């Protein structure tokens, strides 16, 4: 474990990025670059469940703590990725406090949660460290709820107060669409929603996260008190690097005419 939850509770700002290529190689490259955490995206990413294990193994010797975004808040999806060694789970499109409760209960073992108990899994050292892992999950595993719908905004306070919810994570793309201001992060409706999310989290002593698209926005959101800040993805890095190099080489290409 890389103590992501402990660092959040201490008030530290943690820098992360998305992994959506399903590649263990790009996962390792990104992990070795020094990010505090990475988000392996099983909701929209190219990778599937079968690719997750190799990405987690590739990240093991890096400083980056692996969070996995699952496709739904069903407990079967959640405990599956935790058994493989994820240090936290992000659940998308949560629309109510009831949804949030179901999601976070799937993270923890009984009596506080409903996670199924399996000892011979990667997260427990295949049984060797089961007792220590089981007793430490409440202090180590991070429960992240995405706020990206109008319905979630209506239940913000209740979602934030849900035991086991550690982070309210702002999904700017979906949230701006839900607000009718598609992609406009400067629109008053989006700014107001962000303020409301931060206030609800603060009142419940929870952290806030966000995905930003421009690294120059980092300081703005950090100053608002947002601690879990992601920017970019392995796909973005590959695509932008390839396009940039192609443009540079094209400047030197001799004309055929």
Give, for all 257 residues of the chain, the pLDDT tens digit: 899 999 999 999 999 999 999 999 999 999 999 999 999 999 999 999 999 999 999 999 999 999 999 998 888 889 999 999 999 999 999 999 999 999 999 999 999 999 999 999 999 999 999 999 999 999 999 999 999 999 999 999 999 999 999 999 999 999 999 999 999 999 999 999 999 999 999 999 999 999 999 999 999 999 999 999 999 999 999 999 999 999 999 998 876 55
Q: Does residue 215 fall inside a structural domain?
A: yes
| Cis peptide leading into residue 111 (ω within 30°) | yes
Q: Does residue 176 fall inside a structural domain?
A: yes
Q: Does residue 45 fall inside a structural domain?
A: yes
Active site residues: 44
Q: What is the distance in angstroms between the CA of the first residue and the CA of the last residue of the chain?
A: 60
pLDDT of residue 141: 97
Encoded tokens for 221? 């959101």
Q: Which contacts of 179-188 are long-range, i.e. CB under 8 A and separated by 24 or more positions?
A: 179/150, 185/213, 185/217
Q: Does residue 257 fall inside a structural domain?
A: no
Expressed as residue numbers, the domain containing 77 is 4-252
Rounded Cα distance between 23 and 59, Å, is 11
Q: Does residue 206 fall inside a structural domain?
A: yes
Of 83, 183, 176, whose CA–CA distance to 124 is shortest? 83
Question: CB atoms < 10 A from the CB of 59, how many?
Answer: 27
Q: CATH number, domain at 227?
A: 3.20.20.60
Strands 37-41, 65-69: pairing is parallel
Q: Does residue 70 fall inside a structural domain?
A: yes
**Using CB atoms within 10 A of its CB, is residue 174 exposed (0-12), middle (13-18) or buried (19+)?**
middle
Of 174, 222, 215, 224, whose CA–CA distance to 17 is shortest? 215
Strands 167-170, 142-147: pairing is parallel
Number of structural domains (the chain) is 1
Rounded Cα distance between 156 and 159, Å, is 5
pLDDT of residue 102: 95
Per the CB < 8 A criterion, the answer to whether 190 and 230 are in contact is no
Question: CB atoms < 10 A from the CB of 98, how many?
Answer: 13
pLDDT of residue 255: 63
Question: CB atoms < 10 A from the CB of 30, how many?
Answer: 26
* Sequential DSSP letters for the chain: ---HHHHHHTT--EEEEEE-S--HHHHHHHHHTT-SEEEEETTTSS--HHHHHHHHHHHTTSSPEEEEE-SS--HHHHHHHHHTT-SEEEE----SHHHHHHHHHTTS-TTT--PPP-SSSGGGTTTTTHHHHHHHHHHH-EEEEEE-SHHHHHTHHHHHHSTT--EEEE-HHHHHHHTT-TT-TTSHHHHHHHHHHHHHHHHTT-EEEEEES-GGGHHHHHHTT--EEEEEEHHHHHHHHHHHHHHHHHHHPPP--
Q: Does residue 88 fall inside a structural domain?
A: yes
Q: Does residue 141 fall inside a structural domain?
A: yes
């Amino acid at each position: 474990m890389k103590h992501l939850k402990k660092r959040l509770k201490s008030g530290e700002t943690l820098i992360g990025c998305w992994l959506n290529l399903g590649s263990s190689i790009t996962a390792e490259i990104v992990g070795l670059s020094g990010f505090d955490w990475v988000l392996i995206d099983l909701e929209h990413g190219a990778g599937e469940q079968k690719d997750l294990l190799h990405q987690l193994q590739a990240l093991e010797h890096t400083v980056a703590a692996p969070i996995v975004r699952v496709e739904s808040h069903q407990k079967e999806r959640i405990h599956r990725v935790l058994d493989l060694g994820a240090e936290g789970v992000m659940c998308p499109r949560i629309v109510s406090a009831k949804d949030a409760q179901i999601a976070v209960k799937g993270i923890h073992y009984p009596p506080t949660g409903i996670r199924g108990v399996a000892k011979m899994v990667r997260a427990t050292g295949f049984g060797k460290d089961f007792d220590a892992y089981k007793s430490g999950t409440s202090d180590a595993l991070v429960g992240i709820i995405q706020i990206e719908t109008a319905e979630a905004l209506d239940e913000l306070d209740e979602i934030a107060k849900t035991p086991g919810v550690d982070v309210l994570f702002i999904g700017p793309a979906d949230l701006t669409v839900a607000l009718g201001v598609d992609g406009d992060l400067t629109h008053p409706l989006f700014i107001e929603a962000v303020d409301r999310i931060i206030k609800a989290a603060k009142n419940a002593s929870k952290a806030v996260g966000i995905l930003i698209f421009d690294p120059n926005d980092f300081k703005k959101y950090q100053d608002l008190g947002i601690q879990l800040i992601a920017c970019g993805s392995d796909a973005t890095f590959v695509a932008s690097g390839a396009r940039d190099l192609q443009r540079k080489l094209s400047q030197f290409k001799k004309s055929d005419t």
